[in-house]
Structure 1
């Protein structure tokens, strides 16, 4: 009997998808060519809507170790501009500091709780598909074998073998002018600014913490994490990498090149893993399509871009949650026609938005007095509240809406907090009017009916990915409009 879904890749996006599928009652199997968790230090946290999404699933509490709800951050950054988000009445920008290894470990633990089968040391090497199944060739520790599944999802990164085997193009642009050098370091205690928490550089000034700092020769990011680790990143435009292995000394020289003064840096202390990474150039690429028959892509397999502002996991994890319920509905037989196609229709534009704004930021942090002049103008624009709001919505992903409704501005937006109700991953009807039971009754095999206080609406129909499919602020909503939304997203009643 074929598996429901084979997922290639056990990074955060593949594991999140596996959890979503298991919540919906389908059988995924996760194949990962690594035999142990990666020691490479990659993302340092989460930014944007994904923080609230994890909270809706009860996973934010697992990562933080406490029951406090996420709150917006008072400031963030865009192209090395500090954003005074505290000036917004309801900032959409949420962040959470957590190394990617911790995020992966949490999601792997959750997947195991949900009964997901995971195979380490197993790599996809080939695929063929027909109208009914996809046959996946796998190379495992005991040799090659084959799996049959109804669908295959590539969550295997920017060099995705799944994407290549499916023949999906990955066009984009290459930037070969930058070198990014990052490492965990120690700095003398006397250089830590007690007021801002930043790095006080004699002869230069203060490098603010957790923000990008631009000069006309490069970019610096100083991050003193609460766990005692200090990460320093330096991006240069005219200082090519050498042939020798990257060292803390090279990072020190790059920092002096950007700031014009020397800063004493030492090797990291304490338990690792510690980052020591040098990257030359960068790619911005977007898959030509997110689906080829029974093969689909999520995360970096579908899009790669600059890491400026940390949008990668925000984009990829939301890909996974958007795809999960639609794929599960298709497998379980109640999906309306075309539901699975809405995955690409909704998420590829989100990928386009992220690649657009990361490319724009790359220009705004570039070297030279002409860019400095552009930054002066852009900085003036950021003083306008409407512009600040627009940028905050953009970097958080809060500008993404899936459709609209004349009955309520909440329709198409990310759902307000409904408490534990969204942890099930099931569609929800929030009926605070007591008038919709008869209209929704035929769908209650797949849609849960709940009550919960919601500002701005009397009733909501909520998709499993926590976006509002339908909403009304009327005391007695039109039942036929609800039935239309139920059919559109959750199929015909049984």
Structure 2
């Protein structure tokens, strides 16, 4: 059966999360023709992320204030017993939780205003005869694109089709979200280290006075009774809730979290990966929103150069192996956390947080300013942008 054909485009972006939306919009603003496809029929449905933005993101990116919750300065860390927690207070606003559904809606409107052709309810299925195949509401269609961007999550189909690296170390997470029962609460992020609830990661309660997030995440094979069972057990006795009643109607979120670090091969002459598809998530904290925004800027730079010069070798600058070297410390800590398999070991490890050196290390990790590395632009890329009079449109 002959498939329908869509008009050719400069760039096909697959996946309309924050990374995909930002990349598509920035490329369109630089004058390129962009198609953005997402399998969801509504971008504000099926949200998977808690939506935590860290201080560095809030300082460097112009996020809509109306879509951000109250600032959080307090982190409380608990051992498996929940007794004698360690409280860390920062003099600065460290975290804010974004209304991700609203950010997606706003991002989609900005993309459309920039000229992006947005195809919802459309799944990427692969390549055929040099064209990309999409399965949309009216059936399969083909589209020819000079480049394709995989912004399609931890299990990227684009990565598979381009022969790029794919995530192999994944956590799974689930959480419940509901309106905060009191507005008088001190906004705080409560985290529990307990391998029974969150093997290899954390269980959390985040309450900013507007919404309460209760969640767990860990290695899927280590859950004896399943992720949902662990979340139910934790929600019944979670610290930080202070006996508040969970409403009957809650929003539920779940999804995979890549924690193996940035993948080595994230580009080829035909395209590249951004966001979770490229492993651009902190191996230790699993924070992914700041890396996805910064990495989107790098992707836009190299694609803009390749599109303007016709030189596909520009994509070689988008090199995961080089950037991965900047994550050695966090990868080592990830390996250490993955080895904590019993409450007794977690309790012993937790005692280090109670001495000054341990507290200082925790503050550097949780309140630090490090994130996805910002490599210097190449002379060639700078020359292209100067000659054409264009500049990065994303606020820093």
- Alpha-carbon offset, residue 326 of structure 1: 1.9
2:132 matched residue in structure 1 = 136
Superposition map of 1:4-153 within 5 A: 4-43=10-49, 44-55=51-62, 59-61=63-65, 63-64=67-68, 74-76=73-75, 82-86=87-91, 94-127=94-127, 135-153=131-149
- Alpha-carbon offset, residue 41 of structure 1: 3.6
- Alpha-carbon offset, residue 327 of structure 1: 0.6
- Alpha-carbon offset, residue 17 of structure 1: 0.4
Q: Decide which of 350, 355, 361 is 1:375's aligned counterpart.
A: 350
In structure 2, the CA distance between the partners of 1:263 and 1:304, relative to structure 1 (3 Å rule), is farther
1:298 matched residue in structure 2 = 274
CA contact (8 A) 1:158 1:301 kept: yes
Quick one: distance in 2 between partners of 1:75 and 1:361? Answer: 25
CA contact (8 A) 2:261 2:283 kept: no
- Alpha-carbon offset, residue 319 of structure 1: 1.6
Quick one: distance in 2 between partners of 1:358 and 1:144? Answer: 45
Quick one: distance in 2 between partners of 1:344 and 1:444? Answer: 23
SS in 1 for 2:111: helix
CA contact (8 A) 1:252 1:265 kept: no
- Alpha-carbon offset, residue 372 of structure 1: 2.4
Quick one: distance in 1 between partners of 2:297 and 2:78? Answer: 28
- Alpha-carbon offset, residue 361 of structure 1: 7.5
In structure 2, the CA distance between the partners of 1:368 and 1:143, relative to structure 1 (3 Å rule), is closer
Quick one: distance in 2 between partners of 1:74 and 1:287? Answer: 32
Q: Decide which of 181, 201, 205 is 1:222's aligned counterpart.
A: 205
Quick one: distance in 1 between partners of 2:264 and 2:20? Answer: 20
- Alpha-carbon offset, residue 400 of structure 1: 2.7
In structure 2, the CA distance between the partners of 1:54 and 1:258, relative to structure 1 (3 Å rule), is closer
Quick one: distance in 2 between partners of 1:350 and 1:62? Answer: 37
Quick one: distance in 2 between partners of 1:185 and 1:15? Answer: 26
CA offsets 1:388-431 (integer angstroms, 9 cap, x no match): 675357x643573525xxxxxxx99xxxxxxxxxxxxx97xxxx
In structure 2, the CA distance between the partners of 1:354 and 1:31, relative to structure 1 (3 Å rule), is farther
Q: Decide which of 328, 334, 357 is 2:304's aligned counterpart.
A: 328
CA contact (8 A) 2:259 2:286 kept: no
In structure 2, the CA distance between the partners of 1:350 and 1:334, relative to structure 1 (3 Å rule), is farther
1:232 matched residue in structure 2 = 214
Q: More relative contact order in 1 or in 2 (CA 8 Å, sep 6+)?
A: 2
SS in 2 for 1:157: coil
CA offsets 1:333-388 (integer angstroms, 9 cap, x no match): 298x9543222258842884696277258449764233322232355354676x46
1:402 matched residue in structure 2 = 375
Superposition map of 1:264-275 within 5 A: 265-268=245-248, 274-275=250-251
Q: Decide which of 186, 192, 200 is 1:197's aligned counterpart.
A: 186
In structure 2, the CA distance between the partners of 1:101 and 1:345, relative to structure 1 (3 Å rule), is same
Quick one: distance in 2 between partners of 1:351 and 1:79? Answer: 29
- Give the TM-score of the pair, scaled to structure 2: 0.74
In structure 2, the CA distance between the partners of 1:174 and 1:223, relative to structure 1 (3 Å rule), is closer
Quick one: distance in 2 between partners of 1:216 and 1:136? Answer: 43
SS in 1 for 2:144: strand
Matching of residue 359 in structure 1 with residue 334 in structure 2? yes
Please tell me whether Structure 1 or Structure 2 has the larger radius of gyration of its CA atoms. 1
In structure 2, the CA distance between the partners of 1:445 and 1:325, relative to structure 1 (3 Å rule), is same
Q: Decide which of 316, 324, 343 is 1:349's aligned counterpart.
A: 324
Quick one: distance in 1 between partners of 2:340 and 2:238? Answer: 13
Superposition map of 1:245-284 within 5 A: 246=228, 251-255=231-235, 265-268=245-248, 274-277=250-253, 284=260
Quick one: distance in 1 between partners of 2:392 and 2:332? Answer: 27
Superposition map of 1:204-215 within 5 A: 209-214=188-193
In structure 2, the CA distance between the partners of 1:239 and 1:319, relative to structure 1 (3 Å rule), is closer
Q: How many residues are paired up?
A: 374
SS in 1 for 2:152: coil
CA contact (8 A) 2:46 2:253 kept: no
Quick one: distance in 1 between partners of 2:339 and 2:55? Answer: 21
In structure 2, the CA distance between the partners of 1:95 and 1:167, relative to structure 1 (3 Å rule), is same
In structure 2, the CA distance between the partners of 1:114 and 1:258, relative to structure 1 (3 Å rule), is closer
2:83 matched residue in structure 1 = none
1:158 matched residue in structure 2 = 154
Quick one: distance in 1 between partners of 2:14 and 2:150? Answer: 5
Quick one: distance in 1 between partners of 2:256 and 2:301? Answer: 38
SS in 1 for 2:165: coil
